[in-house]
């Protein structure tokens, strides 16, 4: 569930969002978008949590890869629905991951 991204640098797309009360196919399309993103060139992994506030971070090899995914036809449709009905608010941040470190319990 913690994305196994390669050593930096890479890019992160941090998508922080609040949902409306409208479902209308949200869950299904969100899952489809994850599956589709995973197939895109330059995709490196993602992490996603929701508890009221939703945070989804996807990791990419380059800005070019992010741009291509943002312009993918199916993704454009999802973005349109997102603004029209699913999201009350969101913020997307494009960030260059410069450094990372981690920890994993050995037991």
How far apart (Å, rounded) are the C-alpha atoms in residues 87 and 64? 26
Q: Is 52 in the site for a second copy (CB under 8 A)?
A: yes
Which listed residue (7, 35, 39, 104) binds a second copy by CB under 8 A?
104
**Closest distance to a second copy from the beta carbon of 78 (Å):** 14
Which listed residue (23, 27, 50, 69) binds a second copy by CB under 8 A?
50
The token duo for 5 is 């991204």
Other CB atoms within a 10 A radius of the CB of residue 65 amount to 20
Please enumerate in sequence order all residues whose Cβ is within 8 A of that of 101, keeping only pairs 6 or more positions apart, or say none.
none
**Closest distance to a second copy from the beta carbon of 74 (Å):** 20
How far apart (Å, rounded) are the C-alpha atoms in residues 13 and 92? 7
Could you tell me which stretch among 26-34, 36-44, 97-105 binds a second copy (CB under 8 A)?
Answer: 97-105
Angle at alpha carbon of residue 60, lines to 70 and 73, rounded to 5°: 20
Q: Is 14 in the site for a second copy (CB under 8 A)?
A: yes
* Residues at the site binding a second copy, with contacts judged by CB under 8 A: 1-3, 5, 8, 12, 14, 16-18, 20, 47-55, 57, 83, 87-105
């Amino acid at each position: 569930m913690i994305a196994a991204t390669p050593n930096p640098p890479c890019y992160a797309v941090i998508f922080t969002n609040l949902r409306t009360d409208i479902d209308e196919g949200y869950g299904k399309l969100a899952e489809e978008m994850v599956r589709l993103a995973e197939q895109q060139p330059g995709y490196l992994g993602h992490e996603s949590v929701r508890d009221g506030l939703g945070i989804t971070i996807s990791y990419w090899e380059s800005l070019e890869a992010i741009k291509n995914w943002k312009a993918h036809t199916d993704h454009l449709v999802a973005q349109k629905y997102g603004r029209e009905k699913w999201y009350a608010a969101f913020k997307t941040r494009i960030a260059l991951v410069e450094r990372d470190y981690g920890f994993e319990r050995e037991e």
